[in-house]
Amino acid sequence: MPQVNRILRGQTALVTGASSGIGRAIALAFGAAGAAVGVNYRSDRKAAERVVTEIVKHGEAAAFHADVTDERQVEAMFAAFLERFGTLDILVANAGIQRDAPIAEMTLADWRAVLDVNLTGQFLCARAAIRAFRARKQAPPPLRALGKIICISSVHEVIPWAYRVNYAASKGGVMLMMKSLAQEVAAEKIRVNSIAPGAIRTDINRAAWATPAALEALLELVPYGRIGEPEDVARAAVWLASDDSDYVTGTTLFVDGGMTLYPGFEGEG
């Protein structure tokens, strides 16, 4: 087992869309930090099982199927998680998709699919998590928060994105859903925050980094000069899920190599 700070020891966490990319990296990092991890997947059970196998080498984990857009499946997943692990400390609402198209060609199905997964899916999971936090009334000592929710947003919660109006609208929605929810439950010691990744090397944006030309164009947008890795986001998630960030709620942590510094403006003009 790698020598890591087991800062999440004794906690339980459910990560949606955890069979690949950022969700997978967060599940693995949470497991390495000592949490028992629920690995949610929609269709790739084998990939989810591989993540579980990795975590159980030194900890506890199980795979949970659910399409996060389906209310009944989400409720059933939380019930199964609570039956397996007894309680919930941390939700990471990570599942997300893109369906890019110029506006005149964007179908209602493209629009709805993205809003359904990226925004409604986060609402359904956050609501179920809040209910689970409230049901236990008090976090087991020495934990300070009753529960933590981390929404995986995007730099496109603030950066407009042509040809992806569905995606940008969904992430802008996540921003105010997160803040409104944080305001509503802060007095109960429930913390709600977002992570806004920039360009991270995963399947969702493969076209943006898979060729040298695409990568070069992408890096024009990243002052720090490299593409992000899923582990960059995972390390931030571990911190946001831990008591080390106990006074942080209602905020978006940008993990973007400076993409939101608008590097196009860095010249003197």
Residues in contact with ligand NAD by CB under 6 A are: 16-17, 19-23, 42, 67-69, 94-97, 117, 121, 152, 154, 197, 199-200, 202-205
Q: Which is nearer to ligand NAD, 21 or 59 (CB)?
A: 21
Q: Tell me which residue of 119, 130, 251 sits closest to 193, measured CA to CA.
A: 251
Nearer to ligand NAD, 154 or 242 (CB): 154
To the nearest whole angstrom, how small is the minimum distance from the Cβ of residue 265 to ligand NAD?
Answer: 21
Complex with ligand NAD: residue 119 or 182, whichever CB lies closer: 119
**With contact defined as beta carbons under 8 Å apart, do 8 and 45 qualify?**
no
Measure CA 19 to chain center.
Answer: 12
Looking at beta carbons only, is 8 or 95 nearer to ligand NAD?
95
Write out the catalytic residue numbers. 167
CB of 8 to ligand NAD, least distance (A): 20
d(C-alpha 103, C-alpha 157), whole Å:
19
Provide, rounded to whole angstroms, the least separation between the CB of residue 262 and ligand NAD: 17
- Amino acid of residue 83: E
Token pair of 258, please? 């400076």
* Nearest distance in Å: CB 140, ligand NAD: 28
Q: Which residues contact 103 (CB under 8 A, 6 or more apart)?
A: 163, 165
Distance from C-alpha of 72 to C-alpha of 49, rounded to nearest angstrom = 23
Q: Checking DSSP bridges between strand 61-65 and strand 147-152, what pairing results, if any?
A: unpaired
What is the sign, positive or negative, of the torsion defined by CA atoms of 103, 106, 109, 114? negative
CA-wise closest residue to 181 among 142, 146, 149:
149
